[in-house]
Chains A and B, each alone.
Chain A
Amino acid sequence: MIIDSHAHIWQSFMNFRCPPVREIIGGMERAGIGLTVFSSLSALLNTDPHEDNLYLKRLVDGHRDRFRAMAVVTPYAGEAAVTELETCLRDYEFIGLKLHPWLQGYYGGADFLSPILEVCRDYSVPVLFHTGTPPYAQTFHIWVQAKRFPKLTFILGHMGLNYQWRDALEVGKICPNTIFDTSGISYTFAVRRLIDELGPERVIFGSDNPFLIPDVELNKVLRLGLPKRDLQLILGENATRILRLS
């Protein structure tokens, strides 16, 4: 089964329309994606993301065969962020944390992320970081955090994008607790190089749906010229292992 590890859903986000669920499922079916992991985009901008996470939980509960969720919390909220994250992981069965430093407005390497990263470590769930957008979401920020939390798995969303792919490769070599998702980066030579140098076990498919087009993002991976076994890992088996999907 193809697993899309990086997608978004929201109630309201600036002036962007979120497609209705049936449209999202239609896009998944067209691309042949069996399971999608969402996080809430609106939660990234709300001081209190509780309602957004709850909305996502209800959505996932209604589509357990197709959807899973990652939590979003506001790191500036301190103890309230910890509480919300624990609620999402313990009570809602969310499978990770999504952090987006440039939308949320902090440096990805900041110390004040420690309390929520500790919760993820204790619950053994990965943290998906947006990477590749300086100054807040520099790819090397993950180097900083991955060294501080060697037992926590960090997923570098977009693998550093087109201009920090080399940083992503360096982070991957230095920090074995890092995983890379394929979404957004259009420099396909770089995607191939990360797979070749870090191994196909370290890369997972993501689409950034609905910001990006799922079947276009999937075709990008299918056209890399990878052996069948590598594709099986990248398109599903790695995500099953890393996200602990049953």
Chain B
Amino acid sequence: MLKKIDAACHLGYDPLHEVGVDRPRLTETLDRNEVEKAVLLPMGEGYIHRFREQNRELDRIVSKSQRFLYFCTVNPWFGESARKELEESFTLRSAAGVAFDTARQGLYIDSPMIDPFIEIAARHEKPVYFFTGIPVFALPLNLANLARRFPEVTFIMGAMGVSDYWGDIIPSFRLCGNLYLETSVNTNVPAVLESFVDEFGDEKILFGTNFPFTDYVMECEKIEKAGISENSMERIFFRNSCELLRLDP
């Protein structure tokens, strides 16, 4: 089995979908699927009004375990206090990046409200993750437009435009060179992955699961059976995340 880094999973409970996972089950799932490290993203209310508490909870977990990294979040509607929180997440705490779920947070990916937060991420050279695939607030081409405005920032297209926005992935990457594709949730892999690798290479794809919303085995299988080379799979499952997140392989 290839070594893996999960670039997008969760810990906790999401009242919106009534789904959750605790630490023992997450660890057991990662063990079973031979995942060396996992990036914890915010969960549920952590994206909305509990972002300060959640950022601290995730920071505590990461400080006690080499296995996890985390992306913090802030809700842009909270203005100055959210900007301060993001700044501190990078200076006082150890967030590896920042994640937004704009469909939950109630703004467009490329809204000017986002800009001050991207500027902070740019100053700290941190990647920015957006969950994509929900009209109208979380669409791949709006991420491309934001990425166009901030060419110095690395953006991650989370959930690869699930479900039927997979058709906007390749056009988005043609417009912007500062995007990564994260593989979770979307099942339209045969329609995308092989042609994506043909056109852009295999260095801009990150394996992710969005577990516990998805089935972990399925998220792995869909990459393993996508018709791409072993070397590309090794990059997608492991090496690309190592390079982006500056981890020792």
Q: Do A and B bind each other?
A: yes
- B186 at interface, CB cutoff 8 A: yes
Interface positions, chain B 174-233, Cβ under 8 Å from A, are: 185-191, 212-215, 217-219, 221-222, 225-226
Q: Once the chains are docked, how many angstroms separate the CA of A161 from the CA of B161?
A: 13
A68 to chain B, nearest CB (A): 22
Number of interface residues of B (CB under 8 A): 27
Compute how far the CA of A34 lies from the CA of B191 in the bound complex, rounded to whole angstroms. Answer: 24
Give CA–CA (A211, B189) in the complex, Å. Answer: 8
**Interface assignment of B164: CB less than 8 Å from any CB of chain A:** yes
- Contact, CB under 8 Å: B213 / A187: yes
Per the bound structure, the CA–CA distance linking A161 and B218 in Å amounts to: 16
A-B contact count (CB 8 A): 77
Is A188 within 8 A of B214, CB to CB?
yes
Asked if A134 is at the interface (CB within 8 A of a chain B CB), the reply is yes
CB closest residue in chain A, given B164: A133
A216 to B214, Cβ gap below 8 A? no
B17 near A186 with CB under 8 A, answer no
Nearest CB on B from A146, distance (A): 22
**How distant is the Cα of A158 from the Cα of B190 in the complex, in angstroms?**
17
Decide yes or no: A186 and B164 within 8 Å by CB, A213-B222, A213-B225, A219-B217 being known contacts. Answer: no
Given contacts A102-B164, A162-B185, contact A186 B215 (CB under 8 A): yes
In the assembled complex, B134 has its CB within 8 A of some CB on chain A: yes
If the complex has contacts A216-B218, A220-B218, are A190 and B188 also in contact, measured as CB distance less than 8 A? no
Taking a contact as CB atoms closer than 8 A, the residue among A189, A208, A219 that contacts B19 in the complex is A189
Q: How far is the CA of A11 from the CA of B23 in the complex (A)?
A: 49
Contact assessment for B221 and A219 in the assembled complex, using a CB-CB cutoff below 8 Å: yes
Within 8 A of B (CB), among A111-143: 132-135
Q: Is the CB of B164 within 8 A of A212?
A: no
Query: Inside 8 A of B188's CB, which chain A residues have their CB?
Result: 184, 211-212
Q: Which residues of B contact A223 (CB under 8 A)?
A: 215, 217-218
* B225 pairs with A215, CB closer than 8 A: yes
Contacts A186-B215, A223-B217 given; indicate if A216 touches B163 (C-beta within 8 A). Answer: no
Chain A minimum-CB-distance residue to B184? A186
Which bucket holds chain A's interface residue count? 20 to 34
Given contacts A163-B134, A212-B189, whether A187 and B17 have CB atoms under 8 Å apart is yes
Chain B CB count within 10 A is highest, among A135, A161, A188, A210, for A188
Whole-angstrom CA separation of A184 from B226 in the bound complex:
15
In the bound complex, residues from chain A placing their C-beta under 8 Å from that of B190 are 210-213
Taking the complex as formed, is B162 at the interface, i.e. its CB lies under 8 A from any CB of chain A? yes
B106 CB-CB contact with A under 8 Å: no
Q: Please tell me if the beta carbons of A186 and B225 are within 8 angstroms of each other in the complex.
A: no
Q: In the complex, A162→B138 CA distance in Å?
A: 14
**Which residues of B sit under 8 angstroms from A219, Cβ to Cβ?**
217-218, 221
Q: Which of A161, A189, A217 contacts B163 (CB 8 A)?
A: A161
Q: B209 — nearest CB in chain A belongs to which residue?
A: A186
Q: Check B116 for interface membership: any CB of A closer than 8 A.
A: no
| Shortest distance between the CB of B13 and any CB in chain A (Å) | 12
Choice from A186, A188, A190 contacting B186 with Cβ under 8 Å: A186
For A186, what are the chain B residues with a Cβ–Cβ distance below 8 Å? Answer: 162, 185-187, 213-215, 218-219
| Chain A contacts with B in 131-168, Cβ cutoff 8 A | 132-135, 158, 161-163
A186 to B166, CA, bound (A): 14
Q: List residues of chain B with CB within 8 A of the CB of A190.
A: 17
Please measure, in the bound complex, the distance between the C-alpha atom of A16 and the C-alpha atom of B217, giving whole angstroms.
Answer: 27
* Chain A proximity of B241: nearest CB distance (Å): 20
What is the minimal beta-carbon distance from A125 to any residue of chain B, in angstroms?
Answer: 26
Closest 5 CB pairs between A and B?
A188-B215, A133-B164, A216-B221, A161-B163, A186-B214
**Please, could you name 12 A-B residue pairs with CB atoms under 8 Å apart, sorted by A?**
A132-B164, A161-B163, A162-B133, A185-B187, A186-B162, A186-B186, A186-B215, A188-B215, A211-B188, A213-B221, A219-B218, A219-B221
